[in-house]
Structure formats: structure tokens, C-alpha cells
Structure 1
Amino acid sequence: MNKSKPDRPSKDESSAPPTSRGAKRKKRTRLKLLNSAMALFSRKDAQDVTINDITEGADVGFGTFYNHFESKDAIYEAVLFYAFDSFGEVVDAHLDRINDPAEKISTALRLTLREAKLKKDWGRFLVREAFSEMGLSSGLAPRLARDIDEGISQGRFKHGDIDLMTLVIGASTVGCISIGLGEDSTHPQLEEDKTLGQRFIEHALKTLGLPDDEANRLAIVPLPDDDLSERAF
């Protein structure tokens, strides 16, 4: 399975508003196929998933698949794009309202953890693909590096190794998602007063150089209420 960074979907596929019932129906069918594919790819290696598996999960006919995607590789690349780049762009829309790079990092991490908990297939897929070429070159990773760089430039952060801090915080985010997806089983860290995610974000901000009280405050700033992963698809 080719995991190179996929081309951005065309405007017709991703952003053009449906103008007819047929176009709306086609968009809904495409979404069903993408959701089915993500659910399968989040649990199995791509080579173990068939097009028939995807269409059965979407409850559409086998031939319908080819009205939307040329191949299994094509839908795999589309899922990669929507899981990483598209979600990252939606998060960026929220970060544009924030000036403080420390609050940007806290918000981006917390939005990611929240969406992974709300959309478990999405979270599992992120965990599986986080260290792939696509995962490292898009989505959270480059945005995290950007905001760390901004914080260092402004004197907000004291730690100067952008690559190392991006790796440490990014990998810890994946770890928190992985543990969070297993919350139905008892985990001692999840039984304490603070959630694992909150403690992780506090620690990440402190590691970057924020004072304890400020890191603790930014870890609980109210988040937007909207469902980002739904819009990302």
C-alpha cells in the first residue's frame, strides 16, 4: 500500500456545495464509504481490507464504490488526507483566533484528544498512522512545530529544540489517545482526579518553560463546542 502523501481532493469533491438532490446523495454516499474505510483501516492493515468489506460496511452496492474512488489505494489516501490534513486545517481555523502560542498548543492538543475520544475509529486510525510519512508530515506534527517555533521566537518558551519537543509532545499525544481508547478497561492513571490528558498537557507546557500556574490554567481553558472531526470529513 502506497503511503505517500495524497493529493488534495479536487474542489469538486471537497468544497463545492451540492446543487441538486443527486449531488447531495452522492456526497452522503462518499461519506459513508470514507467512514466505513476508516473504521476498517483503523483495525486492520490496509492489505487485509477489501473493497467488498468497505461497501458492506457502508451498506452500498459493490459497483457504487467505483463511482467515487478508482481503487482501494485511492480511498486509503483519501482517508489519510481527511484524518490528518483536513482535520488540521479545521483546528487551524480555531487557532487563528488565538494569539498566545502556548494557548494554541494547549487548544490543538485538547481538541485532538477530545475528537479521538468522541470518534474512536478516527482516534484508532491516528494511532496506527501517526508515525507514517503522512502522519509526520501533516496534521498535528507540523502545526505543533510551527507553534513551538513561534513560542520560542516570542520568548514564551525556554526549550529551544523544536524537533525534539515536537517528537516528545506528539508521541505523548498518541500515547494518551491510545490509553483513552481503552478506558473501558481499568487503568490506574485514569482513576485520579485529573484526567490523563489534562495532566499531560500541563506537563507539556511546563516542559516548554511555562510556570506551573499558567500551564495549569491553559490546560483547562474552555474549548469550542463544535464537532471538528465531523466537519473534517
Structure 2
Amino acid sequence: MKPEEPLNHRTRVAAERREKTRAKLLESALLVFAQKGPQAVIDDVIAQAGMARGSFYNYFRTNEELLVALAAEINDELMLVIDPAVQLLEDPAERIARGTRLMLHAVLKYPLFGAFMVRLPFPTANSSLLAVRFMSRDIAQGVKAGRFGSVGQRVATDLVAGVVLKAAHSLASEPMEPDYPEAVVHAILVALGIDGSEAARIIAQPLPELVLPAGSILVRAQEYQA
């Protein structure tokens, strides 16, 4: 008779299996929502994942709960890459520029991300995809330092979030000029009170390469689609 496995080992294996199943559901949901939008039903996701209905309800109770979890997961994946690159900079204006440029270029690099965003209702369901809390941090610093002229924090946050979200929709919906992300961010900086020539200097700064880990949902789903 084989000795009983240590409890902590069994617990770890069960947790890893549960995490893999949840990740598979989120990956399948991304593929389905990117194609059909939030009106896609649970059966579509279950079929894509190749799982039983009971497995789905072990992780999510409703379609809406799954949608929110997927948006949050994508946001977290992107911010794990984008925010460290943003925090290398001291100037709040440069931080805003780098973060928003990277977010817009992510739409171009990962088409499923753009397709998912386009099919979400504006603006509520998209808000978690914009990392508003990160932008708010840098905007607050800029306002406190007088970097953004007389623009208040709430106005500045809404301005940046609204423009970036609409620009992301445009990038995902139709062909745009290669420098469209930079033109959008230049306009944002000017609207925040940055001089046009200085905004151009900030936009001209090289952008770090955006590379998500191989295990991220966006990468796995895109490879599956290919």
C-alpha cells in the first residue's frame, strides 16, 4: 500500500489544477467575447473550453462575473509590464505619455485585446482595462506639482481615460496611421497644459518594447487563434 501523500502536496496540486482550469476558462472567454461581444452566452465559453457546465460554475456564477474577471485579468497582465516601465521616469507628464502610448500599442500588438475592448459597452465595462488607478496616481502627482497648469485632477483623469479608450476603439476598429498613438498622446499632453514643443519632445522618447509573458492570457489566446 502506497504511503499517503503529504497534505500540503495534495493541496498544492489541487490549487495548481484549479488555477489552470480558471485560466483556460478566461482564455476561452477572451476568444468568445472578442468574436461575439458580451452578449455571448456561457454555453459558448464552455464549448470553446471543452469543459462541462458544472466546471464553469465552480469558478463563475454568471456571464457578467466572467466578463469582469477577464477584464481585470487582462488589465493586471498589461500593468505588470507597463507600470514598471512607467515608474522608471520621474516627470508625471512623461509617465502619462509612456503609459498611454504602451496601452495603445498593446491594442496593435495584441489584436484580441483590441477586439475585446471594441465589443464592450462604453465606458463602464472598459474602465478596468485602462488602469485608471495607475494614471490617477501620475496625474495626481502632476497636478500637485503644477505640471499640468490649471487642470484639476478629476478633469485630467477623465480626459486621459476618455481619450485613450476612444483611441483604443479606433485602433481596433479601423486602419490608422502608424503614428496615431503618438498623435493622440501628444494631444493629451497639450490638453493637460504641456507646451506643444515639449509634448513633441516627450513623445519622441523611445518606447520600451512591450512583451507579455508566454503564460499570459493574451499570448495564449492569440497563439491558439493562430
TM-score w.r.t. the length of structure 1 is: 0.71
Residue from 191, 215, 225 that aligns with 1:207: 191
Equivalences for residues 1-233 of structure 1 within 5 A: 26-44=18-36, 46=38, 48-84=39-75, 87-88=78-79, 90-127=81-118, 128-129=120-121, 131-132=123-124, 135-136=126-127, 139-184=130-175, 190-191=176-177, 195-228=179-212, 233=217
**1:89 shift after superposition:** 5.4
Which string of whole-angstrom CA distances, capped at 9 and with x for unpartnered residues, describes residues 14-66 of structure 1? xxxx965x7656544432321221333345453x3222200222344444434
Relative to 1, partners in 2 of residues 1:118 and 1:230: Cα closer, same or farther, differing over 3 Å?
farther
| Contact 1:39 1:122 (8 Å CA) reproduced | no
* Aligned counterparts of 1:231 and 1:202: Cα–Cα separation in 2: 33
Question: Relative to structure 2, which stretch is displaced further, 81-90 or 140-149?
Answer: 81-90
Measured at CA, do residues 136 and 78 of structure 1 come closer, stay the same or move farther in structure 2, by a change above 3 Å?
closer
- Contact 2:77/2:212 (<8 A) preserved: no
Change in 2 beyond 3 A, CA 1:95/1:130: farther
Instruction: Give the 3 Å change call, closer, same or farther, for CA 60–221 of structure 1 in structure 2.
Output: farther
Give the stretch that moved more between structures: 95-104 or 31-40. Answer: 31-40
Identity %: 27
Aligned counterparts of 1:137 and 1:101: Cα–Cα separation in 2: 21
CA distance in 2, matches of 1:183, 1:52: 30
Unaligned runs of 5+ in 2: 1-10, 218-226
Per-residue Cα deviation, 1:105-159 (whole angstroms, up to 9, x for no partner):
0111011111122222322333425511x64478433332332221122232213
| Largest Rg, 1 or 2 | 2
Aligned equivalents of 2:149, 2:182: Cα separation in 1:
21
1:180 positional shift: 1.1
**C-alpha contact 2:104 2:164 (8 A) present in aligned 1:** yes
In the alignment of these two chains, the number of paired residues is 206
Long gaps (5+) in structure 1: 1-17, 185-189
Give the TM-score of the pair, scaled to structure 2. Answer: 0.73
CA separation in 1, counterparts of 2:99 and 2:215?
16
